[in-house]
Structure 1
Amino acid sequence: MSYENLSGRIAVVTGAASGIGEAVAVALAGNGARVALLARRGERLAAIAGKIRADGGEALPVVTDVTDDASVAAAVAAVRAAYGAADLVVNAAGVMLPHPVADQRVDEWQRMLDTNVTGLLRVTGAFSEDLVRAAADGRTADIVNVSSIGAHIVFPDYAVYSASKAAVTHLSQVLRTEYGPRDVRVTNVEPGFVESELIDRIDDERLAGEVGAMRDAVGALSAEELADVVAYTVSRPRRVNLRQIVVLPTRQV
């Protein structure tokens, strides 16, 4: 789909090296936004940026670790130097490491919380000044947080991942009370099954088999389909805030 009023916007997308983040970055750039691609895998970012440029778009690869203050601060400086103040931030970086709580994978718990929750807050806070300034100047300004249907639906062995996404959903609601009065929109997107690296990276054979069987039974959205939902959302008139969107394959209930 084409969303002409995205042309000229300055977008920052975390988790842009693959999956949902990559698809969102490509979709926004395809609609005329200047897009900063933030993730840890530099070679992958460079390849995606090259593809966007080859298709006539503008892209800036910025190697960034959302769990690190200095890395995020450097990313803000790089985006400002290249494009100016960002008016759109999509928090798509996330990790899913399912195991029973009894396994006591404390390192994995910390990694999920650091990336899925604190990383989102770190990026949002770092670009806050830019977003508020853009809105005050009469530009459309957006924060889009990618949560998960797992914020509501209970799955055994996904306790910490689900808790982290429930936190994202609740944080999005609270952030809207802080940013909405300053004309910055906040949208929380909760996808169901989406084709991405999250599922492929499950290292427990039993859990990988279970989630694979569920996905096969109900189907999965493509990352591009979810990206179109995000592009549609941020292309609405600036007075319209689609604050909560649940996106599922039709057979997933």
Structure 2
Amino acid sequence: MEKHFNLLMLPLLPVVMFLSGPKLSESARTFTIVNNCKETVWPAVIPADNFTAGSFVLKPGQSILFTAPVSWSGRIWGRTGCNFDKNGNGSCQTGCGSTHQCGASAKPPATLAEFTLAKQDFYDVSLVDGFNLPLVVTPLNGTGNCSVSGCDTDLRPNCPKELAVKANGKNIGCRSACDVFNTDEYCCRGRYGNAAVCKPTYYSKKFKEACPTAYSYAYDDPTSIFTCSGTDYVIAFCSTRFVIS
């Protein structure tokens, strides 16, 4: 199926209202991405063939809406510390580096929202590639195990120093142990490449304690992946405070 991404910039209200009535089509999901952070966030969507090449800017309090077909499978994340000129030249401190438009995926560390859309959707929020922003996924009016997923705690201030990414003396991200140490045990590969052998480590347990419904390491499936049918989604940076009507 051809991918179609329609977007609309929306002001953020104290209560997020979703209009009643039929969906755009039975084969589409509506995503509302909201920036509740005190900083500007540059969200990225991959893949996004017809969606501004997958990158845009949300100032504090702004939101954006787009639709994706049920065949879509991809990732949404936020970039921070970005500075681009009018020609798109510049860089970001986290999320994806020196280009205005992201490539195939995020550059660690990045908090990822992951989706596979089908008759029954699968979705999760992953810290397997590290953390750069609080991120929560809320399904709307679906059926199934439609739980809120994500990490609403800011892990940057208390990130272990060996995992911390700094800029101007401030923690701007928290890397995964796999990214830092690159061992089979931390990366769940080699003889650790299955769920029976690859177990939580000191670092993944710290992530899990702070964010119980997010992936903390590669085989963290039972408490981290959710399914839902016939749902739309809110992807919120830095907040879970939503009233749905």
- Normalising by structure 2, we get a TM-score of 0.29
- Normalising by structure 1, we get a TM-score of 0.29
- Of Structure 1 and Structure 2, the greater strand share is in 2
Structure with the greater relative contact order (CA < 8 A, sep ≥ 6): 1 or 2? 2
- Of Structure 1 and Structure 2, the greater helix share is in 1
